[in-house]
């Protein structure tokens, strides 16, 4: 397996300004999501392996606890993310998720596609090509395609790609931004298992999606049973340095786990998943937003009681050294996200 570390932060910075400048608004939005999360049933078994969770919590942040599974090492939030919770988050017209990722113009859409999603596609292409696979001959399906960035990026790289997505407004946006034929189609959350089981795509991609699927084990099982699916590419949140940052900055919006992510993979639970489902890891790309989170948390917290020049000095430090600091975290296996390409042994 090949492992790649790091990704320059500068390219991402403009898109994250929202988190820097609008902490109050984000916190308010997050508080509503958190309140709903805390009304969900208590999680008793591990999200990934169903083993009963330990009594003692591992880390607490934003008012709820996380438990580390003794069997597989997965990090589990205190409550379940139910279908009802997810519908409120992602599907209903009043769901706020599309607000967060809203784009107002084709130019912005293309810019985000190029900076954030094309590198992911290039990583898939390079990793598959290294194993001698003809990437142009494969069919790609992006599951949880959102506003279509990943599909747009794959088509830019001349891959035969389409997507499925549960939010109708986001599907409409995707199909406006991406030239015909229809790029993304609407599906219901209850369709995901069937899609994983029967879709005739060679490669399934899940960008920030697996962690939101209530019946995750059933979906993973379905993928292993689908003879068409040869590869899966996914990014998921990880047990990370950011968990510590969020635990000590409760007044700052929690991008990583605080609001929306209710469980996270660890190096151990990833291994467990590969082994248990017959996924052979081909390539990993480890880069996180941990230093960005630290930078933002410090800046938001300093705002109240610091001279502007002092803030400037701290900001300059992060701007100049952020990538180097993050690379240390990535190489230590503590990045807030991981991207993985696996081969489906069942295919």
Q: Which residues bind Zn ion (CB under 5 A)?
A: 46, 48-49, 51, 69, 71-72, 74
In whole angstroms, give the CA distance from residue 111 to residue 117: 10
Q: Which of 136, 178, 175, 129 is nearest to 153 (CA)?
A: 178
* Nearer to Zn ion among residue 217 and residue 301 (C-beta): 217
Buried b (16+ CB within 10 A) or exposed e, 312-345: eeeeeebeeebbebbbebbeebbbbbbbbbbbbe
Distance of CA 56 to the CA centre of its chain: 27
Q: For strand 184-186 and strand 2-5, is the pairing parallel, antiparallel, or unpaired?
A: unpaired
Q: CA end-to-end span of the chain, whole Å?
A: 19
In whole angstroms, how close is the CB of 50 to Zn ion at the nearest point? 7
Cβ atoms 69, 48 nearer than 8 A: yes
Count CB atoms within 10 A of the CB of residue 294. 21
Cβ atoms 163, 183 nearer than 8 A: yes
In whole angstroms, how close is the CB of 58 to Zn ion at the nearest point? 12
* Nearer to Zn ion among residue 14 and residue 70 (C-beta): 70
In whole angstroms, how close is the CB of 216 to Zn ion at the nearest point? 11
* Nearer to Zn ion among residue 36 and residue 216 (C-beta): 216
* Nearer to Zn ion among residue 72 and residue 329 (C-beta): 72
* Nearer to Zn ion among residue 31 and residue 65 (C-beta): 65
In whole angstroms, how close is the CB of 45 to Zn ion at the nearest point? 8
In whole angstroms, how close is the CB of 41 to Zn ion at the nearest point? 18
In whole angstroms, give the CA distance from residue 194 to residue 215: 12
* Nearer to Zn ion among residue 219 and residue 299 (C-beta): 219
In whole angstroms, how close is the CB of 73 to Zn ion at the nearest point? 7
């Amino acid at each position: 397996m090949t492992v790649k570390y790091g990704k320059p932060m500068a390219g991402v910075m403009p898109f994250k300004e929202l988190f820097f400048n609008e902490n109050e608004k984000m916190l308010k939005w997050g508080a509503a999501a958190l309140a709903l999360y805390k009304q969900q049933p208590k999680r008793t078994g591990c999200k990934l392996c169903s083993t009963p969770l330990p009594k003692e919590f591992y880390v607490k942040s934003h008012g709820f606890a996380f438990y580390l599974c003794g069997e597989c090492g997965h990090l589990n939030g205190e409550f379940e993310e139910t279908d009802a919770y997810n519908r409120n988050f992602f599907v209903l017209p009043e769901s706020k998720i599309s607000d967060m990722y809203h784009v107002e113009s084709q130019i912005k859409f293309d810019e985000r596609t190029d900076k954030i999603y094309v590198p992911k596609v290039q990583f898939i292409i390079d990793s598959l090509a290294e194993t001698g696979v003809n990437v142009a001959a494969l069919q790609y399906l992006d599951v949880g395609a959102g506003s279509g960035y990943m599909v747009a990026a794959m088509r830019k790289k001349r891959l035969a790609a389409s997507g499925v997505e549960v939010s109708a407004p986001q599907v409409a946006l995707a199909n406006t931004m991406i030239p015909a034929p229809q790029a993304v189609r609407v599906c219901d959350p209850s369709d995901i298992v069937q899609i994983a089981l029967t879709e005739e795509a060679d490669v399934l991609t899940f960008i920030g999606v697996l962690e939101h699927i209530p019946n995750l084990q059933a979906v993973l099982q379905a993928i292993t049973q689908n003879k068409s699916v040869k590869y899966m590419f996914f990014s998921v949140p990880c047990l990370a340095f950011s968990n510590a940052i969020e635990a000590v900055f409760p007044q700052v919006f929690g991008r990583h786990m605080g609001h929306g992510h209710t469980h996270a993979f660890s190096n151990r639970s990833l291994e467990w998943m590969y082994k248990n489902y017959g996924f052979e890891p081909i390539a990993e790309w480890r880069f996180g937003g941990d230093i960005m989170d630290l930078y933002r948390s410090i800046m938001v917290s300093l705002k109240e009681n610091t001279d502007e020049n002092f803030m400037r000095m701290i900001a300059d430090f992060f701007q100049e050294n952020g990538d180097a600091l993050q690379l240390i975290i990535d190489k230590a296996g503590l990045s807030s996200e991981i991207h993985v390409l696996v081969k489906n042994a069942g295919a």
